[in-house]
Structure 1
Amino acid sequence: MAVCGSRTSHIGHFVGNITARRLQYGLSMNCTVSYNKRGFDKVRKINMSLRNKGHPNNMLFQYFTTHVTKRWADPKSYIGFGSEGLHNLSPACISSGTASVPGVSSDNAKGEEQVANTAADSSEAKIPLKLNSGSFYLPHPAKAKTGGEDAHFMCTLTQAIGVADGVGGWADLGIDAGLYARELMSNSLAAIQEEPKGSIDLIRALDKAYVKTKAKGSSTACIVALTEEGLYAVNLGDSGFMLVRHGYAAFKSPAQQHGFNFPYQLDCNNAGDSPSSAMVFKIAVAPGDVLIAGTDGLFDNLYDEDIKGVVLQSVEAGLGPQMTARRIAELAQKRAMDPIKSSPFSDGAQEAGFEYHGGKLDDITVVVSYIMNNENS
């Protein structure tokens, strides 16, 4: 990412222009809009039915795109400080590039895999499914010494993952936005762990993390949790996630941008976007589905077909989520270094009137989660 900036009049207008991507199968959308006052300014509910021509069982996606008033913040909240490199939390929570949090230890591995289950905490609400997650991170070659500007976490106790991308434009001011992204993810993980069992509110958690984050810089944010109802996600900016089912790219979160290469972002001066600008999704899932979350270094360089192709090959080969994440990240970096082959980034640049070809070299974070039956539910 190259551009950072302040809040503009674009904020809040993206919601009405959601477009669902037509992927491998026919698509029909039935939209209803409702408003309610339960602490929200507006709640827009969209029911989208995807007809998979190759499979009789339709998928029902429910989006809750939410504009939320600024929530409360705990005045005694923990404030972490950014640190470089990759980290592990505990057998139940794994974090890469986070700020300091109790239980965090340093690890220089690029890939992490998490296979613990919710039985690690007997007080945890049991859900019928679980996430088996793995991650892989490739920093921009020029930023490898500082660990790059991406951050992510995985936590089995809360069945949640998150990714963030520090906005590179801050480097022009001598600021490493990776510190902001790492602290934001650290605080997001802590806030999620403080949520009531069985009634997690990701907007509230992101808002608490945003208030606590004091490092200079700005960042996108994408957090996904598995609940009894399915996937529950919030996304702000051009990081995001997609869902692969039966070898098909079933859904992909839309990017939020004020303009080309100018994503929605949370920033240290409260002058950018706010958590209330995030899009909120609730998506029904089933065992065998594969969730892929990543920063724009992934989605700028690989088309949906590329990603689902790697997932399909990896699953058929019996590979775990960490190896799948690695394969996706390495392919994305290969495309990023190709000056000729078309990429989603070059397509967007040309649509915006720029003469650009090839991929975009960037930090690349990929988190892959296999959705499985939870034997302990």
Structure 2
Amino acid sequence: MCFGCKGLWLLSAACYFPHPEKELTGGEDAYFICPEKQVFGVADGVGGWAEVGVDSGEYARQLMSESLIAAREEPTGSVDAARVLKKAYSKTTCRGSSTACILALSDYGLQAVNLGDSGFIVVRNGRVIFKSPAQQHNFNFPFQLESCGAGDPVSAAELFVVEVAAEDVIIAGTDGLFDNLFATEIETIVLQAKWSGMSPDVTAQKIAYLARERANDSNGETPFSAAAQNAGYSFYGGKMDDITVIVSYVTDHHMG
């Protein structure tokens, strides 16, 4: 049976590094992978809640847990990513708020829904052919889903349909990834991975390790430092954060 677009399937794996100061509580990022429905997603709990004693990681984890449940209820081959997010959001009751990005390979292509500054890129032949734009109210203030109907409405999420082909690589992540690595740096790792036959989990680890390395660099140029300077701040180097990376290889070989 064909589970994906034109006989395509996803081979996905993730790597997650919580912020060093949040390791004991598991950090504030969350993700899910549902291989049987060709769906995966990431969420980033908004850290500002810690000031009122709330762990936004719990909200992000429940949102992704409910997303997995909703994804499994979708019809095979025609998963509606926006419907999955809407259903998960309606079932999430923890206090807190979170960004969210959910992707599904359906009969119509790679379908994605994104709210906030998590996101994804598609790499083909070593070059980024698509990058989801971040949704921010202003610098470092992303759109976010929040419990009790506050925050941004789930309808504010952006929807995308991207045509993908065998050998493409999809990289989804939270801002801990995209704030610290430029697209060219990710492209280089993906090229090396393809040349050397790395599995998606090893590729995800290599990307996450480099993002953590950049986050620890207080002098180098990063996407976050460039954005901060454009916003009028004197900021250099990386941004220490939770880092979640999901790498998904598009293949025409059914792995199941």
- What TM-score range do you get, normalising by the shorter chain? over 0.9
Residue 135 of structure 2: aligned partner: 256
Residue 168 of structure 2: aligned partner: 289
Q: CA separation in 2, counterparts of 1:125 and 1:270?
A: 34
Aligned length: 256
Q: Specify whether residues 191 and 343 from structure 1 end up closer, same or farther in structure 2 by C-alpha distance, changes over 3 A only.
A: same
Equivalent in 182, 185, 201 of residue 303 of structure 1? 182
- The structure whose residues are more often helix, as a share, is 2
Q: How does 1:260-279 map to 2 (within 5 A)?
A: 260-279=139-158
Q: How does 1:65-144 map to 2 (within 5 A)?
A: 128-144=7-23
Could you report, residue by residue, the CA deviation over 1:86-122 in whole angstroms, capped at 9, with x for unpaired residues?
xxxxxxxxxxxxxxxxxxxxxxxxxxxxxxxx79xxx
Higher relative contact order (CA 8 A, sep 6+): 2
Residue 28 of structure 2: aligned partner: 149
TM-score of the pair, normalised by structure 1: 0.66
Letter in 1 for 2:176: G
Could you report, residue by residue, the CA deviation over 1:184-235 in whole angstroms, capped at 9, with x for unpaired residues?
0000111111123333222222111111000110000000011122100001
Q: Please say if residues 165 and 295 of structure 1, whose CA atoms lie closer than 8 Å, have aligned partners that are also in contact.
A: yes
Equivalent in 314, 321, 325 of residue 193 of structure 2? 314
Letter in 2 for 1:255: A
Q: CA separation in 2, counterparts of 1:169 and 1:147?
A: 16
Deviation at 1:369, TM superposition (A): 0.4
Letter in 2 for 1:175: V
Q: How does 1:209-358 map to 2 (within 5 A)?
A: 209-358=88-237
Letter in 1 for 2:28: E
Equivalent in 222, 243, 247 of residue 364 of structure 1? 243
Deviation at 1:277, TM superposition (A): 0.5
Q: Please say if residues 126 and 376 of structure 1, whose CA atoms lie closer than 8 Å, have aligned partners that are also in contact.
A: no
Letter in 2 for 1:149: E
Which deviates more from structure 2 when the two are superposed, residues 189-198 or residues 266-275? Answer: 189-198
- Give the secondary-structure state (helix, strand or coil) at the position aligned to 1:319: coil
Equivalent in 45, 51, 63 of residue 166 of structure 1? 45
Q: CA separation in 2, counterparts of 1:375 and 1:304?
A: 29
Letter in 2 for 1:239: S
TM-score of the pair, normalised by structure 2: 0.96
Could you report, residue by residue, the CA deviation over 1:292-319 in whole angstroms, capped at 9, with x for unpaired residues?
0000000000000011111111111111
Q: CA separation in 2, counterparts of 1:317 and 1:376?
A: 20
Q: Please say if residues 127 and 374 of structure 1, whose CA atoms lie closer than 8 Å, have aligned partners that are also in contact.
A: no
Q: Specify whether residues 240 and 342 from structure 1 end up closer, same or farther in structure 2 by C-alpha distance, changes over 3 A only.
A: same
Deviation at 1:374, TM superposition (A): 3.6
- Give the secondary-structure state (helix, strand or coil) at the position aligned to 2:149: coil
Residue 74 of structure 2: aligned partner: 195
Which deviates more from structure 2 when the two are superposed, residues 187-196 or residues 171-180? Answer: 187-196
Q: Structure 1: where are the runs of 5+ without partners? A: 1-117
Larger radius of gyration: 1
Aligned Cα root-mean-square deviation (Å): 1.6
Residue 76 of structure 1: aligned partner: none
Q: CA separation in 2, counterparts of 1:367 and 1:203?
A: 19
